[in-house]
Amino acid sequence: MIRSSNGPCATVSVARSSSTAARASSNTPDSFVTVDGRASADSVQSAIDAYAAEDPDFEELVEESSLDDGRPNRNLDRIYAELRDSPYDDFTGEYLADDDRSTRIVYAVESDASDAEITADARRVADRYRGDATATGQIVVFQAVADTIFDSAIVSLAAALGLSAVFLVILFWLLLGSPTLGLVTLVPVTVAVATLTATMRLAGIPFNAITATILAITIGLGVDYTVHVAHRFHDEYPRGGDVDAAVVTTLRGTGGALTGTWATTALGTGVLVLAITPILGQFGLLTAASITLAYLASLIVLPPALVVWVAVVERRPGLLFVGRFLDAADVISTDEGDAPDRARTDGGTDASAGDADSGGDAFEWQTDPRPPAEDPSQKR
């Protein structure tokens, strides 16, 4: 058993020979408390030493059955039988099974060591024992449960993201004719989940059933927010063909509605921080944080993703950052169809424009005479 200096413990159940404990404890792990260069441990040997100090006959038996280290490796049946008949019967029963076929060794560990470190060291020590040995106890069991929850949560989150992607692709394909837009809406959701997970890691918040539930809530709320933004953008963009204007209109309209939703939901769950129960307060804090991250991702991460989506689908690299930079530097020119209005001058060649007040060149805004461009949504 592995026991911290403050009380929690984990068990190593080993073969019945107590001499194996000394060999296993010789190379002490960093998380174990050491005494005289050896791991601090309580075992059936502790009962043997205590009784031998009081009974000379039993001490002589132990010495006859021991090697130089004073730990018996012979006559164990007789030694254990005398212990059972001694005042140390109850003490012996804490470490020795009724059939004398297995024993328990309790190691003390540093109070500042993490559960993961203690569990790993306990398993390494158990592997050193001759015969079958199992690392167990409160710390080891809790860590095993945490690892199982973590693995299942990762699988569940991956499945949730995958199913959400399939659902959104089908939904946007049937309703808007743009299946790839469904994948774009998951980009900010993934960013929000990853950010929340990293925040929990930095804050030292363990990954358990509650935090896994909060991550699932993040996926649900994130999809809700991003679907509203993506759908509004899909409605606005074909009307003018201007990506930037569509993004601005979307953020001003749908973004405002999402802000109200975010504020009420985050505040409603955030008040749980005031709860007396710490675990309930942590749930409220993380839930409010997940809602906030999902909201911010839908307004900060999704708009650039939508612009990139349009640039890729319509093959318009000028919409990307590099294209905009080069366009601003006059290295490339903007496509003619990007703006509905054009400035046109006759260059002063029209003889009929010889009005003295008009000057040499005649300049006027001309509406683009070309027919409206095809609905961009039909290209995706």
* pLDDT tens for each residue of 95-108: 888 887 788 888 88
326 pLDDT band, cuts 50/70/90, is low
Bigger pLDDT: 176 or 323? 176
pLDDT of residue 323: 52
74 pLDDT band, cuts 50/70/90, is confident
Tokens of 333: 């020119």
- Cα(234)–Cα(236) distance, integer angstroms: 6
Question: Which of 80-84, 148-152, 243-247, 330-334 is the least confident region?
Answer: 330-334
Tokens of 280: 């309930």
pLDDT of residue 77: 85
| Rounded CA Rg of the chain | 36
Bigger pLDDT: 172 or 324? 172
Q: Is this structure's pTM higher than 0.85?
A: no
324 pLDDT band, cuts 50/70/90, is low
Q: What share of residues in the chain are helix, strand, coil (percent, to 5)?
A: 60, 10, 30
For residues 29-55, average pLDDT: 82
For residues 65-72, average pLDDT: 73
Tokens of 232: 């509004």
Question: Which of 144-153, 182-191, 203-212, 280-289 is the least confident region?
Answer: 203-212
Contact criterion met (CB below 8 Å) for 30 and 121:
yes
CA distances to 104, 320, 339 from 91, rounded to whole Å, are 12, 75, 89
CA distances to 28, 178, 190, 201, 345 from 302, rounded to whole Å, are 53, 16, 11, 25, 40
For residues 182-200, average pLDDT: 90
pLDDT of residue 362: 38
For residues 264-283, average pLDDT: 86
Which H/E stretch holds residue 286? helix 278-300
pLDDT of residue 216: 83
Q: What's the mean per-residue pLDDT of the chain?
A: 76
pLDDT of residue 191: 92
Q: What's at 207, amino acid-wise?
A: F
pLDDT of residue 133: 83
pLDDT of residue 25: 53
Contact criterion met (CB below 8 Å) for 72 and 48:
yes
On the question of pLDDT at 338 being above 80, the answer is no
For residues 50-77, average pLDDT: 81
pLDDT of residue 28: 77
pLDDT of residue 95: 84
On the question of pLDDT at 346 being above 80, the answer is no
Q: Could you report the per-residue pLDDT of 15-24, keeping only the tens digit for each?
A: 444 445 555 5
Task: List the alpha helices (DSSP H) in 25-137.
Answer: 44-52, 56-64, 76-84, 89-93, 115-128
pLDDT of residue 5: 38
Chain region(s) in the chain for CATH 1.20.1640.10: 147-313
Bigger pLDDT: 211 or 329? 211
Contact criterion met (CB below 8 Å) for 140 and 9:
no
What CATH topology corresponds to 147-313?
Multidrug efflux transporter AcrB transmembrane fold (1.20.1640)
pLDDT of residue 292: 92
